[in-house]
């Protein structure tokens, strides 16, 4: 089996790798500079992939395909990027499949970043053995994705379950600058929203949060605990909505925030209390693969591009 070239294009970092049989053989992380045109970043991706492949004795053209994880919505048929969320704003005008063929002579497939991470967990991590599951990734934003009946769920236009972070959770909330919705989960409870939310708290000036260069929920005083508890309710409601919408057996919670010991149990309790499941209790587990999830998902994605109509599970 040939290795797959993988790229996880994030807002802050781009992770590049060569993946084979559920293992990242070699990888490199470079600055994303996502405020710059994606077209200007492609030559660097080409160069780094060539160096990575060469370091383990492969030529790029001998690889089986390319899998890319990208922070946006893709057309499920053409693979074209449909929009941007303030990152790589020229991406909708680039035909990445044509670029891959012209530069390397190998096929490319591209997938939403949250869906790519879920595919990685499904194949190699916390999703193994389950073919009906969702994942909620908590971080700068809130990423969501679903696998139903053993297939990544994309919908008619590529956005099914991919924008669960923009479900309305507060009908009296503000307009989200990203999506235009009112009181969406991401606007109400994400690390990007935390500075704005914290400044509204009457005791913020006396909180330990004031002295933190980068705010999180770990300060431990009354202000931080209140913000954390509000966020836990939002995250729990988001996950419960996904359970109700997609009828899944397992929920995976990912992202750096999920490492806090109270997060997964709180979301699990909320789901068990509020999401109807007469058949039994939904499993709620933490991601196992962390930052590697999307790269490992890219192997499945890349093999799909290479002509596998029903890609076999990789050996992890």
Residues 66 and 148 in one domain: no
Answer whether residue 312 is part of any domain: no
Q: In the prediction, which pLDDT does 309 show?
A: 38
Q: Give the 3-state secondary structure of residue 290.
A: helix
Residues 162 and 301 in one domain: no
Q: In the prediction, which pLDDT does 125 show?
A: 98
Answer whether residue 151 is part of any domain: yes
DSSP-derived secondary structure letter, 184: B
Q: How many CB atoms lie within 10 A of CB 311?
A: 17
Q: In the prediction, which pLDDT does 276 show?
A: 94
Encode pLDDT of 205-236 as tens digits: 888 888 887 777 766 789 989 999 999 999 99
Q: In the prediction, which pLDDT does 219 show?
A: 66
Rounded distance between C-alpha atoms, residue 42 and residue 36, angstroms: 11
Burial 297-308 (b: 16+ CB within 10 A, else e): bbbbbbbbbbee
Residues 149 and 275 in one domain: yes
Q: In the prediction, which pLDDT does 308 show?
A: 38
Answer whether residue 257 is part of any domain: yes
Rounded distance between C-alpha atoms, residue 59 and residue 293, angstroms: 24
Residues 88 and 156 in one domain: no
Residues 97 and 162 in one domain: no
Answer whether residue 316 is part of any domain: no
Show the domain range for 169: 128-287
Rounded distance between C-alpha atoms, residue 270 and residue 265, angstroms: 9
Encode pLDDT of 6-44 as tens digits: 999 998 899 999 999 999 999 999 999 999 999 999 999
Q: Which residues of the chain have pLDDT under 50?
A: 307-312
Residues 11 and 79 in one domain: yes
Residues 252 and 193 in one domain: yes
Structural domain count of the chain: 2
Percent over 90 (pLDDT), the chain: 77
Residues 6+ apart with CB under 8 A from 219: 207, 208, 209, 212
Answer whether residue 123 is part of any domain: no
Please name which of 174, 176, 170, 172 lies closest in space to residue 141, comparing C-alpha atoms.
Answer: 176
Residues 187 and 235 in one domain: yes
Residues 63 and 174 in one domain: no
Token output for 31: 């600055």
Residues 143 and 241 in one domain: yes
pTM of this structure: 0.92
Q: In the prediction, which pLDDT does 311 show?
A: 43
Sign of CA dihedral 103, 106, 110, 116: negative
Q: In the prediction, which pLDDT does 122 show?
A: 98
Q: How far is CA 15 from CA 49, 119, 207, in A?
A: 11, 16, 36
Answer whether residue 264 is part of any domain: yes
**Which CATH number does the domain housing residue 99 bear?**
3.30.420.40
Answer whether residue 261 is part of any domain: yes
Q: In the prediction, which pLDDT does 84 show?
A: 84
Rounded distance between C-alpha atoms, residue 117 and residue 95, angstroms: 23
Answer whether residue 315 is part of any domain: no
Residues 103 and 19 in one domain: yes
Residues 272 and 133 in one domain: yes
């Amino acid at each position: 089996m040939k290795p797959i070239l993988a790229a996880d294009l994030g807002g802050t970092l781009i992770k590049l790798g060569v993946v084979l049989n559920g293992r990242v053989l070699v990888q490199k992380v470079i600055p994303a500079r996502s405020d710059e045109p994606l077209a200007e970043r492609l030559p660097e991706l080409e160069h780094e992939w060539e160096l990575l492949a060469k370091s383990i004795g492969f030529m790029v053209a001998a690889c089986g395909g390319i899998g890319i994880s990208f922070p946006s919505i893709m057309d499920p048929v053409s693979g074209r990027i449909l929009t941007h969320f303030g990152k790589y704003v020229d991406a909708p005008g680039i035909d990445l499949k044509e670029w891959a063929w012209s530069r390397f002579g190998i096929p490319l497939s591209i997938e939403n970043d949250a869906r790519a991470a879920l595919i990685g967990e499904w194949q190699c991590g916390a999703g193994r053995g389950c073919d009906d599951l969702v994942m909620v990734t908590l971080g700068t934003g809130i990423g969501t994705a679903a696998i139903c009946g053993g297939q990544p769920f994309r919908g008619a236009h590529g956005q099914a379950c991919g924008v669960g972070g923009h479900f309305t959770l507060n009908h009296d909330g503000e307009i989200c600058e990203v999506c235009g919705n009112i009181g969406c989960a991401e606007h109400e409870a994400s690390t990007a929203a935390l500075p704005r939310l914290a400044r509204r708290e009457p005791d913020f000036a006396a909180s330990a949060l004031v002295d933190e260069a980068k705010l999180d929920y770990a300060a431990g005083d009354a202000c931080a605990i209140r913000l954390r508890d509000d966020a836990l309710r939002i995250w729990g409601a988001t996950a419960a909505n996904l359970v109700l919408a997609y009828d899944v057996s397992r929920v995976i919670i990912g992202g750096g925030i999920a490492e806090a010991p109270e997060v997964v149990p709180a979301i699990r309790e909320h789901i068990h209390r509020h999401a109807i499941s007469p058949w039994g209790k939904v499993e709620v587990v933490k991601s196992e693969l962390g930052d590697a999830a999307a790269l490992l998902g890219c192997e499945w994605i890349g093999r799909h591009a290479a002509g596998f109509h029903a890609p076999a599970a990789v050996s992890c």
